[in-house]
Amino acid sequence: MLACPECDLLQLAPARPVRLGTVECVRCGATISRTAPCSLELTLAFAVAAAVAFAIANVFPIMTLELQGRTTSETLLGMSAVLQEAGMASVAALVFVTIVLMPALEIAALLYLLGPLAIGRVPPRMALAARLLAFVKPWAMTEVLLLGALVSIGRLETVARVHLGAAFWSMAALMFLFAIIDSVFDPIEPWSRAEALRQVRGIAVPFAPPA
Amino acid sequence: MTATAARSGLIACSLCGLLNARPHRHAGMKLRCARCGSVLYLRKPHSVERCWALLIAAYVLYLPANLLPVLETAKLGERQWDTIMSGVLQLLHDGAWPLALVILIASICVPFAKLSSLTFLLVSVRSGSPADRVLRARLHRLLNFIGRWSLVDIYVGGLLVGLVRFEPVAVISPGPGAIAFGAVVVLTMLASQSFDPRLLWDAGGQDIRG
């Protein structure tokens, strides 16, 4: 038995979801749970890949601009640094939080939550990590930055030469990884997993061969 | 009568989804989820009031966001200030209509649609009418989904400011409108997050007592 998080209707989870991979509320259509097989392990694998893509995205430039023999380039962190220098501290903070801090926290929370569970341990302060993950999710805006980068390319292309950097491509990869994680990860599953693990621990008796 | 968790004496945990039994009298006492320890709420506390407050703040900042310049372009000593709308018109003038369309939708249509839809949702919850509840629930879900895309203009600004630094040939710097615009996007996102869609389904409000 589950209650819809968006309309509070009580309903039994169907044995086979109507739409592949998601269980939707029969009244309001909100997603109640996701049912991809091995969703926890899949999410963990994609979170590891996302961590690698995110690390690359932070080190290399997003793009480089060439005008009359001079070049400038832009990195994720450089973007907020430049806005800060221009006296726009609040906009700089918004950019830093939405494209660096929140994606980093999302990946970290996923790894912390799912890594131990995948090898059969319950992570300490699990609720804190789960709450952090739920809080951070709407504020990580990798895909929006990517659209912004595409628009900037369109605007700059006519006046100067634009070269795309490694960070652009790793951000594109990160966008797809986050999309896959969103469609596979079921936020309730870590809790049922942890519950099952605790029960197994509780009744486990060391095996003693009969004398 | 449909069986909701609230009517059945249950509270669903917003973090782990567990249905907890609700004791009859718990006024002033915090209930915690038996599985994950999160504080349980039947509905998001002060959802309507919070949403109104954030929404009104967003309305106030909506004017400077659209009237103040967001970017300053300096080409060989010639300075030009652009607001969001004049930026769109400039793009159209340059023949870049796909880009103009992206910015028009993300920076002008989406914020306006968010403000008006949230106002509509808040008013409709107050009247408690059960009409078109599925559509209104979908509208709220759509708002949560599209709100983030408004920030695209902020990122374009950030990238242009960082890249176009060819003094004295061409320099782009941000304008004060960007602060107001960023604030509008953040405030409307917070407002739509603080709105509890379950209120749409609690016709008459008898569910939320106790």
Query: What does the DSSP assignment read for B121-151?
Result: HHHHHHHT--TTHHHHHHHHHHHHHHGGGGG
Q: Is the pLDDT of residue B210 over 50?
A: no
Q: Is the pLDDT of residue B12 over 80?
A: yes
Q: Is B209 helix (H, G, I), strand (E, B) or coil?
A: coil
pLDDT of residue A27: 87
Q: Is B96 helix (H, G, I), strand (E, B) or coil?
A: coil
Closest CA to B172 of A163, A72, A77, A162: A72
Q: How confident is the model at residue A36 (pLDDT cuts 50, 70, 90)?
A: confident
pLDDT of residue A93: 95
Closest CA to A74 of A152, A172, A144: A152
CA atoms within 13 A on the CB side of B142: 13
Residue to mutate among B135, B159, B172, with most A CBs inside 10 A, is: B159
Q: Is the pLDDT of residue B95 over 90?
A: no
Q: Is B200 on the interface with A (CB under 8 A)?
A: yes
Helix then strand then coil, % of chain A, to nearest 5: 60, 15, 30
Element (H, E) at B173: strand B170-174
Q: CB B144 to CB A138 under 8 A? A: yes
Name which of B4, B10, B154 is nearest A94 (Cβ-Cβ): B154
- Closest Cα of chain A to B186: distance in Å? 9
Q: Is the pLDDT of residue B40 over 50?
A: yes
Instruction: Give the number of residues written for chain A.
Output: 211
Task: Return the domain boundaries, chain B.
Answer: 1-42, 46-208
pLDDT of residue A116: 95
Q: Is the pLDDT of residue B203 over 90?
A: no
Taking the CA atoms of B156, B158, B163 and B167 in sequence, report the sign of the dihedral they define. positive
Q: How confident is the model at residue A206 (pLDDT cuts 50, 70, 90)?
A: low
Q: Is B30 helix (H, G, I), strand (E, B) or coil?
A: coil
C-alpha–C-alpha distance, residues B159 and B202, integer Å: 46
CA atoms within 13 A on the CB side of B44: 19
Please, what is the average pLDDT of chain A? 89
Q: Is A145 helix (H, G, I), strand (E, B) or coil?
A: helix
Determine the average pLDDT of the residues in B96-109: 90
Q: How confident is the model at residue A131 (pLDDT cuts 50, 70, 90)?
A: very high
pLDDT of residue A15: 65
- CA nearest A125 in B: which residue? B36
Give the residue, B7 or B188, on which the prediction is more confident: B188
Give the residue, B128 or B58, on which the prediction is more confident: B58
CA atoms within 13 A on the CB side of B177: 23
- Closest Cα of chain A to B79: distance in Å? 16
| Greatest Cα pair distance in chain A | 88
What residues pair up with B78 in beta bridges, in sequence order?
A: B75
pLDDT of residue A201: 67
C-alpha–C-alpha distance, residues B152 and B111, integer Å: 12
Residues of B whose CB is below 8 A from A139: 189
Q: Is the pLDDT of residue B26 over 70?
A: no
Amino acid at residue number A184: V
Q: CB B148 to CB A29 under 8 A? A: no
Q: CB A154 to CB B99 under 8 A? A: yes
Q: Which of A4-18, A24-38, A186-200, B184-198 has the highest mean pLDDT?
A: B184-198
Closest CA to B60 of B151, B184, B190, B192: B184
> What are the C-alpha distances in Å from A35 to residues A18, A32, A162, B8, B74?
11, 10, 43, 26, 54
pLDDT of residue B204: 54
Q: Tell me, rounded to whole angstroms, the distance of Cα A62 from its chain centroid.
A: 20
Q: CB A9 to CB B183 under 8 A? A: no
Least confident range of A49-53, A67-71, B63-67: A67-71
Q: Is A59 helix (H, G, I), strand (E, B) or coil?
A: helix
- Closest Cα of chain B to A88: distance in Å? 7
Residues of A whose CB is below 8 A from B179: 88, 90-91
Determine the average pLDDT of the residues in A4-24: 80
C-alpha–C-alpha distance, residues B77 and B123, integer Å: 51
Tokens 């249509």 appear where?
A: B109
Give the residue, B82 or B25, on which the prediction is more confident: B82
Q: Is the pLDDT of residue B209 over 50?
A: no
Q: Is the pLDDT of residue B25 over 90?
A: no
Q: Is A120 exposed, middle or buried (0-12, 13-18, 19+ CB in 10 A)?
A: exposed
Q: How confident is the model at residue A98 (pLDDT cuts 50, 70, 90)?
A: very high
Q: Tell me, rounded to whole angstroms, the distance of Cα A113 from its chain centroid.
A: 12
Closest CA to B87 of B152, B148, B149: B152
Q: Is B64 exposed, middle or buried (0-12, 13-18, 19+ CB in 10 A)?
A: middle
Least confident range of A149-153, A158-162, B184-188: A158-162
Instruction: Give the number of residues written for chain B.
Output: 210
Residue A138 structure tokens: 């709407």
pLDDT of residue A102: 96
Q: How confident is the model at residue A202 (pLDDT cuts 50, 70, 90)?
A: low
Q: Is the pLDDT of residue A108 over 80?
A: yes
- Of all residues in chain A, what percent carry a pLDDT higher than 70? 92
- Closest Cα of chain B to A72: distance in Å? 6
Is the ipTM here above 0.90?
no
Least confident range of A2-11, A29-38, A201-210, B116-125: A201-210
Tokens 């169907």 appear where?
A: A14
Mode of pairing for the β-strands spanning B39-40 and A161-164 = unpaired
